[in-house]
Every structure is written in structure tokens, then in C-alpha cells.
Amino acid sequence: MTITPHLVVREAARAAEWYRDALGAEECGRIEVPGGKLMQVELWFGDAQVMLAAEFPELGVLSPLSIGGTATVLHLSTNEVDALWQRAALGAAMMCGYPLASWRNESPPRPAPVAAPSPSPAGFDGRAVYWTDVVVRADARFERADDLGGTRFGFTVEDSQSGYQAPRRYFAERALDRGGIFFAAVIGPLVTPRRVVESILAGTIDAGPLDAYWHALLRLHEPDTAAQLRVVATTPVTPIPCFAAAAAVPEAIRARLAAAFAEGGSAPVLDAVRRGLLLAGFERVQARDYDVLVTQACDTDRLGYTRLA
């Protein structure tokens, strides 16, 4: 048995075009009724099927624009993140600062930052910054970073600032003092902070890195899970990941997107949403704001600690 979501939109043809261009959907067929309306557009995202349909108000079939909201959210997961960044129709996708700053491709050009979230908890203080929390099980014997020598350390992916580059810089001198190897094993890619947490709690790694903003959200929404973890080290503050648009997106549209983020960061109607996301608002950011991440990575390379070990 399978289940296929059907999305009702005001302009199904335009929506299908956007899903193709922006997210790489493959259209496999459509059904048009007299008058030109689309009753069905069959889209595939990898092995997942989604149907689009136009509004039919006479049947009570209405789009979010007509009802003033939506109860449906699609979450797209992909292991081909690099390909996502290269989509010409990329409008505002969350992008880690390290791959943004270390972008070397000329075709397509580097995506352009639009805005960055400013978390509200203490330590962030409404700034567009974050850090890495190095965490262990709450009942583990480890009390500080030095205690992690000879343990199993997990990481997300190598081009992640919080999940790899920040810990690499943090542990560099400790590793070099031990001949270049600090951990007994470095395990990954675990890809997501969630899998880092699961691996720690399952006992397959002893410690791992968590994006501090993600960790704050875990404490808010899953306090029982968060209570099973303990922070033994924090890395220095760096610029937080931003929402980025493809370089092909005109500057005027990027400016409109930035203004929309700014409005969403202060609109009273979104107060409850911001509280749930621990957001103070959004800041306009530039690509050069993230250059410090490459500088730090290069400094760590020059020390001779080119990989977590």
C-alpha cells in the first residue's frame, strides 16, 4: 500500500514548472479538463510521488491562497546537496557558511546570501551567530574536552562548519600534542545532528558535535532527549548558516526576499512561530561575512591537522 499527497494550488501549471526548476521534480503526466484547468499533474521527486491540482471552488477544492493558510508542508530530503546549491531557480535555501565561503565553482557562480536567522536564547542574544556544542551522554565519565582523548568522535559531513570544521579547529592543538591523533576513531558521516544524538545515546560514539541553535531547539521541543546529553566543550562563535539564493536570481528579487525575511522577523502575527523557533528575527548578510570560516580552516590546515583524527 502507498499513499500519495495531492496539493491544491491556484495555478497548477506554474506550480509544476517551479517544482521542476527549483527542486528537480520530473513531470510524468497531466490531466486537463475543459476550460484549461489542470485536474492532475503527476510529479516525482526521486522515488516519491506528489500530485498537483488546480482549485475547483464549485467543489469546495481550495488552495492555501483561498483559505488563508495551509495544513500541509512537504519536507524534501536529499543526499545531493551540492546539486541543490547549483539550481538556477534556488530562491532561499538554508546553506551552511563553510561550503558557501569555500565555493570554487565558476559555473554556476556561488549562491548569494539573502538573510540569516538571529536566535533568541542567551548566548546568541539576537545575533546571527552560532557555535558547536560538543556533547556526550549525561551519565558519561567525560567532564571536559581533554577527557575525550582516545574516544570515538562522530561528525556530520566534512563540509559542515558546526559538524566538522569547527571541531577540527577546536581539537587541533590537542591532537598535535599527541602526535596528530587525538581520537581512537572518527566516525561519520552521520549527516545530521539528529543522528549524532542517536549515535551517542546508542553508544556507538562517545561524543559528537551539535549546531548550538539546533541544540537549543532540541532543549525546547524535546527536553527529555536533551536531558540525556551534556555539553563538555563549546567552540568559538562564528556566523550562522544563512538562507541563500542562486546567483542567477536577480538582485531585485533577492532584495525582496531579504525584506520578506525582515518583515517575518518582526510581524506580530508570527510571534508564536518565532517563539517556537527561538528566533529574534533575521539579519541581512553578505558572502564576505563567511570568509572567516575559510580563513580558520586554512589556519588549521597549516598547523598540520587537515582531518579530524
Judged by average pLDDT, the poorest of 84-88, 91-95, 123-127 is 84-88
pLDDT at 109: 84
Angstrom distance (rounded) from CA 48 to CA 236: 40
Which string of b and e fits 247-264 if b means at least 16 CB within 10 Å?
eebeeeebeebbeebeeb
Q: Which residues pair with 113 in a beta bridge?
A: 244
pLDDT at 70: 79
Q: What is the pLDDT of residue 130?
A: 98
Span 94-100, average pLDDT: 92
- Span 5-31, pLDDT tens digits: 889 999 989 989 988 887 888 999 999
Alpha helices in 68-164 (DSSP H): 81-85, 97-101
- With a CB cutoff of 8 Å and minimum separation 6, the contacts of 10 are 54, 55, 63, 65, 66
CB atoms inside a 10 Å sphere around CB 188: 21
pLDDT category at 256 given cuts 50, 70, 90 is very high
Q: Where are the beta strands (DSSP E) in the chain?
A: 6-9, 26-32, 38-45, 48-54, 93-95, 112-119, 129-130, 132-137, 152-154, 185-187, 207-211, 229-234, 238-239, 242-245, 279-283
What's the whole-number average pLDDT of the chain?
92
- What beta strand segments (E) does 200-285 contain? 207-211, 229-234, 238-239, 242-245, 279-283
Residue 258, amino acid: A
Map grid coordinates 486537463 to a residue: 32
Residue where the block lists cell 543526499: 79
Q: Is the pLDDT of residue 75 over 80?
A: no
All structural domains of the chain: 6-67 (3.10.180.10), 82-309 (3.40.190.10)
Q: pLDDT band at 61, cuts 50/70/90? A: confident
Per-residue model confidence (pLDDT) at position 36: 85
pLDDT digits (tens, 9 = 90+) for 189-248: 999 999 999 999 999 999 999 999 999 999 999 999 999 999 999 999 999 999 999 888
Q: Which of 92-96, 137-141, 263-267 has the lowest mean pLDDT?
A: 92-96
